[in-house]
Structure 1
Amino acid sequence: MLVQPPYTKDTAVLAAEMHSEVQCGLSSEEADKLLQQHGQNTIQSEKQRSLLSMLLQQFASPMVLLLLFAAGLSFFFKEWLDGTAILAVVVINALISFYMELQANRSMNALKHMVSLSAKVIRDSSLQEVPSENVVPGDVLYVEAGDMILADARIFSSTQLEVDESALTGESLPVTKDEAVLAGEVPLAERVNMLFKGTFVTKGNAYALVTGTGMGTELGKIASLVQQAEQAATPLEKKLEQLSKKLIWITVGLVIVIFFAGLAQGAEWVKVLEVSIALAVAAIPEGLPIVATLALAQGMLRMAKHKVIVKRLAAVETLGGTNVICTDKTGTLTQNIISVNTILIPSGKTEVIYSPDGTVAVPKEVQNSVNYQKIVDAAILCNTANLEVKNNVLREVGDPLEVGLLKFSTTEGKDVHQVREKFPKTREEAFTSETKIMATLHENRSTSIVFAKGAVEELLQKCTRILLEGDPQDFSDSQKAAWIAQTELLASEGLRLLAFAYKETPSLQESLTQGLVFTGVLGLLDPPRLEVSAALEECKSAGIKVIMITGDHPATARNIALKLGLIGDNELPIMHGKDMKDFADLTNQDKKRWLETVVFARVTPKQKIDLITLLQENKYIVGMTGDGVNDAPAIKKADIGIAMGLRGTQVAQEVSDMVLKDDSFTSIVVAIKQGRIIFENIKKFVAYLLSCNLSELFVVAFSSVLNLHFALVPLQILFINLVTDVLPALALGVTEGNNLIMKDKPRNPDTPIIDNQQWKAIFTYAAVITFCVLGAVFASHYLYHQTELWNPQLCNNILFFTLVFSQLWHVFNMSSAQVAFFKSEVVKNKYVWYALAVCIVLVSTVYFTQPLRDVLSIYTMSIMDWVISLGFSFLSLLIIQVLKRTGVVL
């Protein structure tokens, strides 16, 4: 425990107190011991509900309380069997709902573990990436622009470091940081030599000594004082609530009719009340939100297998309605395997040839040139990436472009660590989106040298001389223009260009990016992903527009877009960021052009937000991909924010709704497809539940209103509801979908789960089932038995079993009518068959077990009665299939 605040101590003293070293960091063994001592670096902000409270919550439904009231009335009037059976059904329903909610929670916890962030720390004298929860006090943390800060830490080395602390202090502007010792009691917002967990780096980089983790951080202290807020209902939960309200009105109307019809027929009011309440509970699927949650969670885990982590359940709904994807180019549409392809120096252009063993072939005259040697030195020294071999596995740490430069340098026989030890870095001006240049100062004995790399246009402006035949010479504007023309040609071939420069300087205080000596340009190639073209075609057929937004050169962007088939030769020209007006100044013509353009290049973070705003104003549902801190505002603004998992900054991942573990555009399309499937599955089991429950209501309503000689008893209603609702509905929730799902246009997210057309279908389904169930009873009486006297017990049993099997076969009616019946997604769903098998076993057990038959008032039936019952149950399936395939209903 640190008595004196760390911001008041020199870092050397602080490191000694914490048994750490700022240069070497902790050893792996020391880190493991400290992890055991301090615990994981996590914020315990959520209080998990106990299993008991979760179980009791299942009895909080108003309808369940009504059923308990009915059971109480049964006990009061000494109807022990009815009361016990109703109570048993309530308990079974509660246990099933409890189990489903428990499974959903476990699924969500599994998802949380998948989205673990990583931190860059120095351990065992090398820069490593470790899971954020394993960071311990005494670790040396390295952060750079775009990184989420994952622990409290004392800065001891920084370069142009600025940090956004608005989440912690409310300070709207980024705070400039340094390593100077502070004295006295300093407010949190003014501790400029400290980094705090939960904030993020907007500029520069730094090394810092971790002083607090988990609940010991400033963020943890605040979290411990704040009670967990009530979680707002998701859009899906709200839609389910609206659906339940509609169903309640329908149910209440029918129950009132049944209640007064029973009284008019002279039935005991207690029995009528019991039937009415039991029927109401059977009609309202009180476990629907939990079933939906479980379906979403299982679907999200299925997405995780496709390298897609969906962080919020509600995002699944929006995924199904996404109709525009704004995507980055690098690593998403391309392979993100950056390799040097072309060397352009004053003596000429040379293409690099890679042999199968990974070595490169560069002509000797190029290798021996001073320009080339300076470029290779700059590629190693003006670079924050690292390559390390651990357990014979090469680990790449840092930006992929910088990693590509290091790999190229090592194939040239350079030892990265040896070069860096020879020329240690003493100062750095980090790359920013404004400057587009990175420069570093290095010292070797009495020599001080600056190396710089960056975008061609920007770096050329900083160069006053050019290296020709080993000597720096004046660099005229006409020469610079000629270089820009050459690089334009290379960019049009799809190359990513990086210019290099250097200067030897006697002064350590002057700007690192002024008066540079230009050495040449490297062309790096990031080829298109082979699978993206097919994914783009799938998007087109699904009514999804794909827009490329990149900071790359327009010519490079156009070349990649052409190769992928994103645009054709006759498409509108690429829109350059410099040609995009401020949003407030846009004319209708400008807006029209923005909406029609497919490729945007050299855009700023604000322009990305402006484009998304315009799309949203025109009723588009926008998905936005990004990887950097500059993408974070646009990711947050989009309806679905999509962050890169491999190269994405922690800030981008934090504000996103989805994380792509493989950074592939194809994974976005897979996610949208899965989102559509999940939502369709929810619609399927909602329609199934509603039509089954309505059929029960209709059967009882007709029997009561028409004063028929037969009716279902309350226990039979509850048994039907329990057997035919739960397992088939769950099986529908995990259906894999059909190949036509991406042929439909995107769904409007404002539409309810069940629209008017689907309500019509649900009522039609219920009516057909009711017709066939009642038809079976009349067929048995008039065609087979042909007696004048009705047999109420036999009629009741035929009614019961026909309704059970009609509802079981009804699950096959939830498949798409556009696919052949035996090839449909529901018929091919093995879990549907498992559910039906279990249900049939349960029904058979009841029929062949005398005590259970007595409880449910079941009697043996003749083979012919069974043929009639099963025949009419299949007839309901046949009629509904004909209605679906002739277009009468969905």
Structure 2
Amino acid sequence: MNSFETVLRTLFSLFLTRRHTHRYFRRQAILESLNRLGTEERPASLRYESRKMRQVATDDVPAVLSRMDSSPEGLTSAQVESRRAQFGPNEVEHEKPLPAWRHLGRCYGNPFNLLLTALALISALTHDMKATVVIGTMVVLSTLIRFVQEGRSNRAAERLKAMVSNTATVIRRQVSDAAAVVGAGSDGARCCGEHLDTTQSAEPVELPISDLVPGDHVILSAGDMIPADCRVLTARDLFVSQGAMTGESLPVEKFSEIDRPFTSVFETPNLVFMGTNVVSGSATALVVATGPRTCFGTLSARVTASDRTPTAFEAGVNSVSWLLIRFALVMAPVVLLINGLTKGDWVDASLFALSVAVGLTPEMLPMIVTSTLARGAVTLSRRKVIVKRLDAIQNFGAMDILCTDKTGTITQDRIALARHTDVFGAPSGDVLRYAWLNSFHQTGLRNLLDRAVLEHVALDHDAPDAQDWRKQEWRKIDEIPFDFERRRMSVIVAEGDNPPLLICKGAVEEMLAACTWVSDGESTGALPLDAAMLVRLRAVTQDLNRQGLRVVAVAVREMPSAQSVYSVKDEAGLMLVGYIAFLDPPKETTAPALNALAAHGVEVKVLTGDSELVTAQVCAQVGFGHARFLTGPQIEKMSDAVLAHAVSKHRIFARLTPQHKERIVRALRDGGHVVGFLGDGINDAAALRAADIGISVDTGVDIAKEAADIILLEKSLMVLEEGVLEGRRTFCNMLKYIRMTASSNFGNVFSVLVGSAFLPFLPMLPLQLLVQNLLYDLSQTAIPFDRVDRGLIARPLKWNPRDLGRFMLFFGPVSSVFDIATFVLMWHVFGANSVARQSLFQSGWFVEGLLTQTLIVHMIRTPERPFIDSRAAWPLMLMTVLIAAIGIALPLSPLAGYFGLQALPLGYYPWLAGMIMGYAVLTTVMKKLYIRRFGW
């Protein structure tokens, strides 16, 4: 395999972010793969865009705006429409829906159909046109059913994905009607029109990422995905995670200007790329390249033609398929030798051996799997759960540990400002004023706490003078955005001619580390922050925490008037002025949801960055009791081995950084658990990628939704519990078909071996065996619509292909017992003991074999007593009755001679009823033995 092919295979899953939404963050970095490619192997379009990106990186801001034919106020609607027509939507080259003829070819080209086709060709060459027609019918039905079902599934999946979209904040110019009229006139008028356009105000709007065009201005803040390849125009402490592009583990800082040339576009600090994400800070950026012209899109276009890397679930299904194919490849020669040696007709023996091989292959497996997953996804969507990857349903059903954040999941997500106090706990209006100024002027990651402060002041709660200080002439000078390492953010504001004031708010411990002074409650008084004062302050905050309040500290610092540029270094020597405390009560549905999840074998663990005292208080209210908790600082000191033991003993984890969450999830997975993670923030992205199944919400940040496999339209554990159960139902129905087909086919082949060894003729003609297999497969097409016993979805379900072999060997021979009994019945009771009467023998086994095969659907679909304790859904019942009726009627019909069958005597049918009853009884006994020893 050459280097380019290696790159394609490595990168395929990396880039399918919209249609197949693979987790490209887990894959190899793009830069590593690019370095493997020689210059001559790199796509020409990539070299062109790389030169263009270098050019815009070295331009100053006016020059780059001119190069991109943009303006400081962004693009007008007319410019946008023109560029959209030229460049198309801002979408990378995904795996596009195949044309109908190619989709039809893919549906045909599976190993099972190829085996059938080989058999049809051999039948045609031997002038056995009957077999050719029947085998051809099997191929056509298998292909068409899969084609129709997959078409419906793909359309359903696309509709579901369309329900979850990422947006970008774009600055667009709003052109007035007057300007448009003037701009439509003569050349002079057009000049005037252009002049009027530049005077229009820029309006930020939220738009789908696909609507962006080159020349657009986008506003970036923490949690945003970079929507295109962009040049940074302004930046404020902008840190971007571009590990997907370069493999770097740490975020890199980006600036608006560069002072020297860089050898790689990825190292250029004023360029950002599609597929990366903002970790902290804020920026405005100019879109340079969109869609397939981005670096991300260029490589994506080259890899969409290669084969997609199979997921674990697909690998499991493939292993089952190839297990049966290998079994067929072993058994077919044995059947050929036995029949050839005992009957002497090697042509018939060959056809029969091939028929046996086909009988072992589950032709409908691809269709059953696809339609079952698609139906499960559609059903989940009705429960407000959107599945981005169909095969994620398997992990959804297998999940036994759910890690979730606290805010909005355990709690109501309706945070209210409950207290604003000075450092000693007394109510303080000054603290509220400082907090409001900070929340009002910050433009980075505005969270629920900021909204609560603004809403509180807007309603004048406990702030009689709020209207006065809100009217003061405060102007913003600068901002130091929030990040999850510092866990604080600052704004620098000034009022009139007074010196600038830095107002900082954040987590208590991180704030205390930045403070050296404490306000004494008066406007000018300050006390040193010594050890004794630190103990006193912590006692106040802990008392607030024990009341279930989330505490944020507020500090200030007067800055020099001459200073104009600020950075994190200025968050030092602060004076702590007090605290704002928030209440976020638990949801009424949380406790019942936790109990329901526990009853279904899913343990819930809470992972939060909040205080351990607040988290413990809230968790105690929803049923966690006095659960033990671990904190981030404690986890920091643990080795991986110690952490692996600790995570199994604790249910609450507090004061966590994103890296702590990721470590916890990985430790749980390494312990053999199937772990789901529910989160919606940028600090949850790493854990979402590390989990077996990432779950986010439609209101989450872009990076969280992109990393997730499942999107909830409502952030509720109750919704999640319903989704888990539906995932298990879907998985159960797939497992039914695989188990039934494997055991039934194995039993048939075992019966064929016995019959072939002792009978002077074939126990069933190749054509008859094929028709029986076709009818049986048709009866299985209703399995995706079957209901599932409650007991089967009570516990997590895991995919274990090795169990299939045991199940096949245990239940397969049960049907052979009654097949052999039928051989004895037809030979001794009805005298079908010669070549001349082989048609009667074959007809008897054809009917018995088809009815027992059909009955096994109901026997093995449930561990309960079929038809009594557990009844199949009506589509499956209808198909069972229909196929059984066809099987009984076929030997009596005018078509009987065509298939080599004949009418059976009336005395056969009581024996047949007895055989079926005996088969049901013996299967029930064996089922009990199997459950007792191995479980279900």
SS at match of 2:919: helix
The residue correspondences of 1:434-513 to structure 2 (distance < 5 A) are 434-443=485-494, 446-447=497-498, 448-463=500-515, 471-477=523-529, 478=532, 481-505=535-559, 506-509=561-564, 512-513=570-571
Q: Give the root-mean-square deviation of aligned CA atoms.
A: 4.0
Larger deviation: 715-724 or 618-627?
Answer: 618-627
Q: State the partner residue of 1:576.
A: 631
Q: 5+ unaligned residues in a row in structure 2: which ranges? A: 1-48, 175-201
1:219 maps to amino acid = F
Q: Does 1:607 align with 2:682?
A: no
Q: Does 1:685 align with 2:737?
A: yes
Aligned counterparts of 2:600 and 2:316: Cα–Cα separation in 1? 25
Following superposition, the deviation at residue 215 of structure 1 comes to 1.5
Q: 5+ unaligned residues in a row in structure 1: which ranges? A: 351-365, 386-397
Q: State the partner residue of 1:357.
A: none
Aligned counterparts of 2:264 and 2:677: Cα–Cα separation in 1? 38
Q: Does 1:798 align with 2:858?
A: no
Report the CA distance shift for 1:240/1:7 in structure 2 as closer, same or farther (over 3 A): closer
Aligned counterparts of 1:540 and 1:499: Cα–Cα separation in 2? 37
Following superposition, the deviation at residue 495 of structure 1 comes to 1.8
The residue correspondences of 1:275-286 to structure 2 (distance < 5 A) are 275-286=352-363
Q: State the partner residue of 2:435.
A: 375
Q: State the partner residue of 1:537.
A: 595
Following superposition, the deviation at residue 160 of structure 1 comes to 0.6
Q: Does 1:719 align with 2:771?
A: yes
Report the CA distance shift for 1:321/1:641 in structure 2 as closer, same or farther (over 3 A): closer
2:56 maps to amino acid = P
Aligned counterparts of 1:461 and 1:475: Cα–Cα separation in 2? 16
Report the CA distance shift for 1:28/1:482 in structure 2 as closer, same or farther (over 3 A): farther
Q: How far does the alpha carbon of each residue in 1:402-428 deviate from its partner, in whole angstroms, 9 at most, with x for none?
A: 333333333339999x96996453311
Q: 2:861 aligns with which of 811, 815, 839?
A: 815
Following superposition, the deviation at residue 883 of structure 1 comes to 3.9
Q: Does 1:636 align with 2:689?
A: yes
Q: Does 1:162 align with 2:269?
A: no
- Indicate if the aligned counterparts of 1:237 and 1:289 stay in contact, CA closer than 8 A: no
Q: State the partner residue of 1:565.
A: 623
Q: How far does the alpha carbon of each residue in 1:56-108 deviate from its partner, in whole angstroms, 9 at most, with x for none?
A: 44554556445434433433343333333333333333333444444454455
Q: State the partner residue of 1:654.
A: 706
Following superposition, the deviation at residue 159 of structure 1 comes to 0.8
Aligned counterparts of 1:241 and 1:863: Cα–Cα separation in 2? 45
Aligned counterparts of 1:498 and 1:583: Cα–Cα separation in 2? 28
* Percent of pairs with identical residues: 25
Q: Does 1:552 align with 2:610?
A: yes
The residue correspondences of 1:297-446 to structure 2 (distance < 5 A) are 297-345=374-422, 369-382=429-442, 384=444, 398-412=446-460, 423-443=474-494, 446=497
Q: 1:620 aligns with which of 673, 676, 682?
A: 673
Report the CA distance shift for 1:715/1:608 in structure 2 as closer, same or farther (over 3 A): same
Q: State the partner residue of 1:389.
A: none
- Indicate if the aligned counterparts of 2:221 and 2:282 stay in contact, CA closer than 8 A: yes
Q: How far does the alpha carbon of each residue in 1:227-270 deviate from its partner, in whole angstroms, 9 at most, with x for none?
A: 64432233334333443444345445544454344334545322
The residue correspondences of 1:757-772 to structure 2 (distance < 5 A) are 757-767=806-816, 770=819
Report the CA distance shift for 1:436/1:46 in structure 2 as closer, same or farther (over 3 A): same
Aligned counterparts of 1:525 and 1:644: Cα–Cα separation in 2? 24
Q: 1:739 aligns with which of 790, 796, 799?
A: 790
Following superposition, the deviation at residue 198 of structure 1 comes to 1.4
Following superposition, the deviation at residue 552 of structure 1 comes to 0.7
Report the CA distance shift for 1:373/1:796 in structure 2 as closer, same or farther (over 3 A): same
Following superposition, the deviation at residue 13 of structure 1 comes to 5.8
- Indicate if the aligned counterparts of 2:424 and 2:540 stay in contact, CA closer than 8 A: no
Larger deviation: 315-324 or 150-159?
Answer: 315-324
Q: State the partner residue of 2:45.
A: none
Larger deviation: 607-616 or 804-813?
Answer: 607-616
The residue correspondences of 1:53-92 to structure 2 (distance < 5 A) are 53-58=102-107, 60-61=109-110, 64-92=113-141
TM-score (norm 2): 0.80
Aligned counterparts of 1:130 and 1:737: Cα–Cα separation in 2? 42
1:832 maps to amino acid = L
- Indicate if the aligned counterparts of 2:421 and 2:431 stay in contact, CA closer than 8 A: no
Q: How far does the alpha carbon of each residue in 1:6-42 deviate from its partner, in whole angstroms, 9 at most, with x for none?
A: 334444565577676545x556676566444432111
- Indicate if the aligned counterparts of 1:440 and 1:512 stay in contact, CA closer than 8 A: no
Q: State the partner residue of 2:883.
A: 839
SS at match of 2:773: helix
The residue correspondences of 1:45-56 to structure 2 (distance < 5 A) are 45-46=94-95, 49-56=98-105
Q: How far does the alpha carbon of each residue in 1:657-688 deviate from its partner, in whole angstroms, 9 at most, with x for none?
A: 44444333344444443443333322211111
1:599 maps to amino acid = I
Q: How far does the alpha carbon of each residue in 1:723-777 deviate from its partner, in whole angstroms, 9 at most, with x for none?
A: 212442x432444433223543x4565x325345423433244335525755775
Aligned counterparts of 1:331 and 1:36: Cα–Cα separation in 2? 42
Number of aligned residues = 844
Q: State the partner residue of 2:312.
A: 235
Q: How far does the alpha carbon of each residue in 1:791-824 deviate from its partner, in whole angstroms, 9 at most, with x for none?
A: 5444433332332232223211123324774452
Q: State the partner residue of 2:218.
A: 141
Aligned counterparts of 1:529 and 1:741: Cα–Cα separation in 2? 29
Following superposition, the deviation at residue 491 of structure 1 comes to 1.2
SS at match of 2:524: strand
Q: State the partner residue of 2:923.
A: 880
Aligned counterparts of 1:456 and 1:87: Cα–Cα separation in 2? 74
Report the CA distance shift for 1:842/1:142 in structure 2 as closer, same or farther (over 3 A): farther
- Indicate if the aligned counterparts of 1:342 and 1:349 stay in contact, CA closer than 8 A: no
- Indicate if the aligned counterparts of 1:333 and 1:528 stay in contact, CA closer than 8 A: yes
- Indicate if the aligned counterparts of 1:709 and 1:790 stay in contact, CA closer than 8 A: no
Aligned counterparts of 1:262 and 1:587: Cα–Cα separation in 2? 60
1:133 maps to amino acid = S
Q: State the partner residue of 2:294.
A: 217
Following superposition, the deviation at residue 214 of structure 1 comes to 0.7
Q: State the partner residue of 1:392.
A: none
Report the CA distance shift for 1:565/1:780 in structure 2 as closer, same or farther (over 3 A): farther
SS at match of 2:234: strand
Report the CA distance shift for 1:673/1:764 in structure 2 as closer, same or farther (over 3 A): farther
